[in-house]
Amino acid sequence: MSLERALELAERGRGTTRPNPVVGAAVVRNGEIVGEGWHERKGEPHAEVIALGAAGERARGATLFVTMEPCAHHGTTPPCTEAVLAAGVAKVVAGSLDPNPEAGGGLEVLCRAGVEVEHADSFAARAQNEAWRTWVAAKRPFVVLKLGLTLDGRVAIPGSRWITGEQSRRRVHELRAHTDAVAVGMGTVRADHPQLTARGVDAVKQPRRLAFGRGPLPLGVRLELRSGALADELAALAEEGVQSLLLEGGPTLAESFLREDLVDKVLLFVAPTIASSGPPFAPELVAPVQLRRFTSEQVGDDLLLSGYVHEP
Ligand code: AOF
Ligand code: ZN
């Protein structure tokens, strides 16, 4: 399917489009792809413009598949809606809407101009830009809560350094390498003196490393202390360009974020151990938290359970 091709193309921009989202586009005529494109860098052409350019005259009367609706604004580049109209495209199929209040509304503009439009809402298209969508719409980072748990829901096993296996720990370093900031609470700071760096993996850049709570930080702990109200700190981080935040515990910090409805996605690394003792993950919440799109994956000897509190 051509939307799937557009999703693939979008991924080619992963890592270079910041602060922009990844977007892919394919122009289809008589069931054949005649132009492809993806957004590569802010300030450079958007995906649609590249795909339409590649298609040339063949775009006239064709269908444009794009992972996110064409923008309707003058940003660092002219509106894609104008490029779509100029190319004479007959139909536009978009996998998601643009949540950016300044750029969104492109499908509507095109519809009014007489182009056939279809919003083929795709979870994959939204998930592809999950951090960016939250950052641009809610003006706070997309918050991922990661916890390592025993089968009986403990966050630590007395007398043992690790809960989860080596592959899960490696996976956590990969997560760190792909997030803008990593944070822990003061309990974890005092107990573990964590570095929170991405180690043993290809990290293009290290995440910002934060501690939420009242200071002081123990000597030798090199984390940024953020002592304000959580919502205020998240707003400030978003202003500084932090689109994604990984919470690495402990249970008190997790509870605070969950109580304020500031967690978007949960990743639970569950180890095949019944610990019988040790601190539990038992947050006291105002109301039960329901996860959506709940899935599981084997990671070494552990299971990674993941789901969304807020779908992107
Ligand atoms: C599209 N196609 O490929 C992308 C879009 O400053 P600019 O001009 O780069 O605009 C950035 C905004 O445009 C971005 O925040 C998002 O709303 C939209 N991104 N739109 O039609 C694309 N990358
Ligand atoms: Zn655009």
| pLDDT tens sequence across 79-113 | 999 999 999 999 999 999 999 999 999 999 999 99
Residue written as tokens 């993806």?
A: 38
pLDDT at 1 over 80: no
| CA atoms lying within 13 Å on the CB side of residue 143 | 28
90 Cα to the center of ligand 1, angstroms: 22
Q: Which pLDDT belongs to residue 228?
A: 97
Q: Within this chain, do residues 83 and 182 fall inside the same structural domain, yes or no?
A: no
- Annotated catalytic, 311? no
Q: Within this chain, do residues 195 and 63 fall inside the same structural domain, yes or no?
A: no
- Distance (Å, rounded) from C-alpha 104 to C-alpha 94? 12
Cβ of 48 less than 6 Å from ligand 1: yes
Q: Within this chain, do residues 94 and 183 fall inside the same structural domain, yes or no?
A: no
Q: Which pLDDT belongs to residue 77?
A: 94
Q: Which domain holds residue 122?
A: 2-128
Indicate the pLDDT class of residue 161, thresholds 50, 70 and 90: confident
Q: Which residue in 270, 265, 271, 261 sits closest to 306, CA to CA?
A: 265
Q: Which pLDDT belongs to residue 256?
A: 97
Q: Which pLDDT belongs to residue 121?
A: 97
CATH number at residue 240: 3.40.430.10
Q: Among 128, 161, 196, where does a domain finish?
A: 128
Domain tally, the chain: 2
Q: Among 70, 105, 128, where does a domain finish?
A: 128
Percent residues over pLDDT 70 in the chain: 100
Cβ of 46 less than 6 Å from ligand 1: yes
Is residue 239 within 8 Å of residue 138, measured between CB atoms? no
pTM equals 0.96
Q: Within this chain, do residues 72 and 207 fall inside the same structural domain, yes or no?
A: no
Q: Within this chain, do residues 19 and 86 fall inside the same structural domain, yes or no?
A: yes
Q: Within this chain, do residues 146 and 111 fall inside the same structural domain, yes or no?
A: no
Q: Within this chain, do residues 56 and 91 fall inside the same structural domain, yes or no?
A: yes
Q: Which pLDDT belongs to residue 50?
A: 98
pLDDT at 206 over 90: yes
288 Cα to the center of ligand 1, angstroms: 37
- Distance (Å, rounded) from C-alpha 65 to C-alpha 33? 10
- What's the mean per-residue pLDDT of the chain? 96
Q: Within this chain, do residues 149 and 124 fall inside the same structural domain, yes or no?
A: no
What DSSP string describes 113-131?
TT-EEEE---HHHHHHTHH
Q: Among 128, 148, 174, where does a domain finish?
A: 128
Q: Within this chain, do residues 55 and 102 fall inside the same structural domain, yes or no?
A: yes
Q: Which pLDDT belongs to residue 203?
A: 82
- Distance (Å, rounded) from C-alpha 220 to C-alpha 251? 23
Q: Closest residue (by CA) to atom 15 of ligand 1?
A: 20
- Distance (Å, rounded) from C-alpha 89 to C-alpha 104? 19
Cβ of 155 less than 6 Å from ligand 1: no
Indicate the pLDDT class of residue 59, thresholds 50, 70 and 90: very high
